[in-house]
Structure 1
Amino acid sequence: MEEYTLNVKRTNELSAEELISIFKQRVNIFVVEQKCPYQEVDDKDYIAVHVYLTDTNNNIVAYTRIITGEDPNIISFGRVLVVKKYRHLKLGRKIVQATLDYIKLNYPKKKIQIGAQNYLQNFYHSFGFKNISPVYLEDNIPHVDMILDV
């Protein structure tokens, strides 16, 4: 069984190679695989915290991005991905749990709000998230806003 290394870094702590690897995986999944042309790399990346798992060859296998918003009582994460050939290993659960653990440790008492793809509602419900919006289209993909009270 392969071991995975958890990495948590702010954008300014990433090497150029790490940042390019993150952007390549995000664009590959959210733009190419999901056939959704949109501005995947955005201004939130300047201040994001990147949480990712790497394999023994230092390849990214799972990833999330933590961002702060305008509301000081709320923190968010998104861009949750697992590289296609690793999706059968439950790494989505592992990366989301690591993200939640980091948020609870570093941003205590903040509510966690996400915009989840609609088909993943039950996955996020299993972590305690509750729906706070009806389903809506974002970049032509059904989403729902969810919140986790801590």
Structure 2
Amino acid sequence: MSIEWKIKPFEALTVNELYDILELRSKIFVVEQNCVYLDLDGKDKVALHLYGIYEDKIVAHARLFRSGITFDTASIGRVVVDADYRDRKWGFDLMTEAIAGILEHFGESQITIGAQLYLKKFYEKLGFVQTSEMYLEDDIPHIKMVKN
């Protein structure tokens, strides 16, 4: 069985899908990374939500934004894969789907991300290039990266 990818605007998410996405993000970004921050930043309502389902469970998620919402260019954020499934390399698949989704839905090819510093090499494999010095976001080292 393989992962099934879906992409929906906020309004099209079911209550259960939204709950499962927020649960996954809290599990990783708040609990696993031991970082107290406000995940609900108001941007979910203007994002496209890309998520992966495996055995009836949402195991991966990313938010896609058109230009001008998070950065001057289109962007991808809240990239997450459940820790129990990271050995399957679905993070790369998630980002590949996200890049394709931005092109398909927004017609944009330049993409900016705020990447956690430890994932720099991962994002470089996808064509992203570091464009900023390291900065702290919620006490976690990040860098801005762009894919043209």
TM above 0.5, one fold?
A: yes
Deviation (angstroms), 1:105:
1.8
Q: Provide TM-score, normalisation by structure 1.
A: 0.93
Cα drift, residue 98 of structure 1: 0.5
- Supply the distance in 2 between the matched residues of 1:70 and 1:105 (Cα, whole angstroms): 17
What does 1:34-113 align with in structure 2 at a 5 Å threshold? 34-56=33-55, 58-70=56-68, 74-113=73-112
Q: Which residue of 2 aligns with 1:120?
A: 119
Q: How many residues align?
A: 147
1:140 is matched with 139
How far did 1:106 drift?
Answer: 2.1
Calculate the TM-score normalised by the size of structure 2. Answer: 0.94
Paired-residue identity, %: 37
Provide, for residues 47-91 of structure 1, a one-character-per-residue CA deviation record: whole Å limited to 9, x for no partner: 1111011012x2011111112352796111111111011010000
Unaligned runs of 5+ in 1: none
CA deviation vs aligned residue, 1:28-60 (integer Å, no higher than 9, x gap): 11011101101011110111111011012x201
Q: Which amino acid aligns with 2:147?
A: L
- Alpha-carbon distance, 1:104 to partner: 1.6
Amino acid at match of 2:113: I
Secondary structure in 2 aligned to 1:43?
coil
Cα distance, 1:143–1:79 mapped onto 2, change above 3 Å: same
Work out the CA distance in 2 between the residues paired with 1:3 and 1:110. Answer: 27
RMSD: 1.5
| SS of structure 2 residue aligned to 1:52 | strand
- Find runs of 4+ consecutive structure 1 residues off by over 4 angstroms: none
Aligned to 2:24: 25
Ranges in structure 2 where 5+ consecutive residues have no aligned partner = none
Name the amino acid aligned to 2:115. A
Distance of 1:109 and 1:17 partners within structure 2: 30
Give, in whole Å, the separation in 1 of the partners of 2:29 and 2:7: 21
**Cα distance, 1:109–1:53 mapped onto 2, change above 3 Å:** closer
Q: Is the 8 A contact 2:63 2:76 kept in 1?
A: yes
